[in-house]
Each structure stands twice: as C-alpha cells, then as structure tokens.
Homo-oligomer: A and B are copies of this chain.
C-alpha cells in the first residue's frame, strides 16, 4: 500500500464526521497566509485556523515569487482578504542551501536546462523581511491593511515576529 493509498483511506474516515460544509469561498477572517511547504508546519493548527478562515499559499522557502503575487492578487481583489501573514521557519532546507552544489546535482540528475531560480537564502529573518517589502511594494497587493512576517520555531511551535 502506497503512502497515497494510506492518505486516501484517512480521508474516507475524515469525511464520515465532516461537519464544515456549506462555507463561502471568501475567507471568514479576511486573512491570507504565505508559508513554507515544510512538512513540520501544520498551518491551520499552529494558527488555530478552522476551514473557511484564511487562504493558505505555500511554496519552498515561503519566498515571494510572481506566483505568490498572482495568488495574493486573486485573494485580495476577488475574495476580499486584507491581511497577509508571512511564515518562514527555523531549520529551513533553503536557508544556507549551497546553490551551486544543488544546481550542479540537479543538472547531473535531470540532464535538463533549468529556467527557474532555486530561491535559496542565507538568513530566514532577512528573507521574511524581504518578502514583507516585496508585498508592500506590489501594486497588485495594495488592498492589504496589514502585512506581517514571522519565523516559526519547528522545535517549540512558537511564532516570532520579524520587525
């Protein structure tokens, strides 16, 4: 049985007690979260979110790319969110990743020309600060009344704000 099969089985059990149907698409709290894809971040649980509360956008490193701008623009202009929460985290695989080594290994393993940047960074606090600045500077995201960033400690479960 594959991991996917086990997760589908878990969904069958989840659905038998599901009682959160009939919700609207627009997030009830007016919030969009941008977080790293890291497996240790259960974004709903760590923020106390319930289904319907907030959009959740995730990628490798929680870096602000064109894709994040797209998702947040739809979140704000189509679905009415006005607060953005950025979440990087400790022990991120992209913090201090050796870009050259990874790029070389990827080329060796894939034999393919890469047209995307790896998105690694040297310091997660600086990366979150940069992301806040990028969102605040985007003309597509000017409906945000609040853009705040945090580093989540994967060992303690605590969010620490990046000022």
Residues of A within 8 A of B (CB): 2-4, 6-8, 10-15, 18, 20-23, 25-32, 37-60, 65-71, 73-75, 77-79, 83, 85, 91-94, 97, 102, 105-106, 109-112, 114-119, 139-140, 142, 145-146, 148, 154-159, 161
Complex contact B60–A74 (CB within 8 A): yes
Complex contact B85–A102 (CB within 8 A): no
CA distance A28 to B40 in the complex (A): 10
CA distance A69 to B117 in the complex (A): 11
Complex contact A25–B111 (CB within 8 A): no
A91 to nearest B CB, angstroms?
Answer: 6
Chain copies in the assembly? 2
27 contacts between A and B (CB under 8 A): A2-B145, A3-B54, A6-B29, A7-B47, A7-B49, A7-B54, A10-B47, A11-B46, A14-B157, A20-B40, A21-B157, A26-B39, A32-B37, A37-B55, A39-B53, A42-B50, A44-B44, A57-B59, A60-B70, A66-B116, A67-B68, A70-B119, A77-B102, A78-B93, A78-B102, A110-B139, A110-B140
